């Protein structure tokens, strides 16, 4: 699978409660005091996708296998973490290893739940974490710049070009801005250097507004503030009540459905978190379908057919001949693979074919 999303936030904002609910386990300790999480907990979570069940209703396989995404519950961060405060260096090192960040923000008042800064203020909380990531990135960029500047002065063209990019990165960070909003439109050299440096603020962010039960029904002032800030960053926001999600995760399917009805919800909020995390990483799903199993597979958008085949087995990628492809919409409309075949809806695609979200593929190969 190899795609993961790190759950971050200030201490005691509901990260571990959310993680437990996501993974439906007691793997992450949850308690009402800071730094409850020290070592990062890792959980594999199934990606909810109704298409999988609908394909299975047509194909009637022996088993159904959903695709997954990995969530990592990372230790809480405090002001000064970039200088080693709290569990700072460990926290920042753990963030460096994830593909995207799910930033949990407290958006509820409760005198019984301690806030590390003494009051609830989501914008301040977000800025605290963002600034620590920015400070750490600035430190990384400045160290590299010192090294490259000497080479640039000696007339090294490659070093001069790198120094220009580093100066640009430094300017962005000194303005108190994250790198990620600039990443998409940047040059390939810029992107390559950012990845090489492993900059923390270059990672895409999903904000998770953790509310109380009342906040689920209508956006409170805290949620509105988070949405306003996220809009400027072009980042998605998902609103959940971690406490309710934790209770839901412990119920049987029928009980869960009844509880959701009572709350006026169609599905658990966690489904939105998982889907948004999936989208945030620019991932898509393709399917394989046969008598033995119907399975969903995760790939990056833009992946070519042979590399998609490699997700199943390296031999299939190595011996790739062609892909027999039918779209999900065509299969559902026609109701069977046979009808799709009769109508010429199953296409033969070669090595340059970019797999699309929802493609149902049979790979031909010879090793």
**Does the annotation flag 2 for ligand binding?**
no
H/E/C letters for each residue in the chain?
CCCEEEEECCCCCCHHHHHHHHHCCCCCCCCCCCCCCCCCEEEEEECCCHHHHHHHHHHCCCEEECCEEEEEECCCCCCCHHHCCCCHHHHHHHHHCCCEEEEEEECCCCCCCCCCCCCCCHHHHHHHHHHHHHHHHHHHHHHHHHHHHHHHHCCCHHHHHHHHHHHHHHHHHHCCCCCHHHHCCCCHHHHHHHHHHCCHHHCCEEEEEECCHHHHHCCCHHHHHHHHHHHHHCCCEEEECHHHHHHHHCCCHHHHHHHHHHHCCCCCHHHHHHHHHHHHCCEEEEEEECCCEEEEEEEECCCEHHHHHHHHCHHHHHCEEEEEEEEHHHHHHHCCHHHHHHCCCCEEECCCCECCCCEEEEEEECC
**Does the annotation flag 195 for ligand binding?**
no
**Does the annotation flag 89 for ligand binding?**
no
**Does the annotation flag 23 for ligand binding?**
no
**Does the annotation flag 15 for ligand binding?**
yes
**Does the annotation flag 118 for ligand binding?**
no
Query: Which residues make up each annotated binding site for ATP?
Result: 12-17
Query: Which residues make up each annotated binding site?
Result: 12-17
């Amino acid at each position: 699978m190899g795609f993961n999303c790190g759950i971050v936030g200030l201490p005691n904002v509901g990260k571990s409660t959310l993680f437990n609910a996501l993974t439906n386990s007691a793997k992450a300790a949850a308690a009402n005091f800071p730094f409850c999480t020290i070592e990062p907990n890792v959980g594999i979570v199934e990606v909810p996708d109704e298409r999988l069940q609908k394909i299975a209703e047509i194909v009637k396989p022996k088993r159904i296998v959903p695709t997954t995404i990995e969530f990592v519950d990372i230790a809480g961060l405090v002001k000064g973490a970039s200088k080693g405060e709290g569990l700072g260096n460990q926290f920042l090192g753990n963030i460096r290893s994830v593909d995207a960040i799910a930033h949990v923000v407290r958006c509820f008042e409760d005198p019984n739940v301690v806030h590390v800064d003494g009051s609830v203020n989501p914008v301040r909380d977000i800025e605290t974490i963002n600034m620590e990531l920015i400070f750490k990135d600035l430190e990384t960029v400045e160290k590299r710049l010192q090294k490259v500047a000497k080479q640039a002065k000696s007339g090294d063209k490659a070093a001069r070009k790198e120094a220009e990019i580093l100066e640009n990165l430094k300017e962005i960070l000194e303005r108190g801005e994250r790198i990620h909003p600039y990443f998409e439109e940047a040059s390939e050299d810029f992107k390559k250097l950012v990845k090489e440096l492993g900059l923390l603020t270059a990672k895409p962010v999903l904000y998770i507004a953790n509310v109380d039960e009342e906040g689920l029904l209508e956006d409170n002032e805290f949620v509105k503030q988070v949405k306003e800030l996220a809009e400027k960053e072009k980042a998605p926001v998902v609103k959940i009540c971690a406490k309710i999600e934790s209770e839901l995760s412990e119920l049987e399917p029928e009980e869960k459905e009844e509880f959701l009805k009572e709350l006026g919800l169609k599905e658990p909020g966690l489904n939105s978190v998982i889907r948004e995390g999936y989208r945030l990483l620019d991932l898509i799903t393709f399917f394989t379908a046969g008598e033995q199993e119907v399975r969903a597979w995760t790939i990056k958008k833009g992946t070519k057919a042979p590399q998609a085949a490699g997700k199943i087995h390296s031999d299939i990628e190595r011996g790739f001949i062609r892909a027999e492809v039918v779209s999900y919409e065509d299969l559902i409309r026609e109701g069977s693979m046979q009808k799709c075949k009769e109508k010429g809806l199953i296409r033969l695609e070669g090595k340059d074919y970019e797999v699309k979200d929802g493609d149902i593929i049979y790979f031909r190969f010879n090793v």
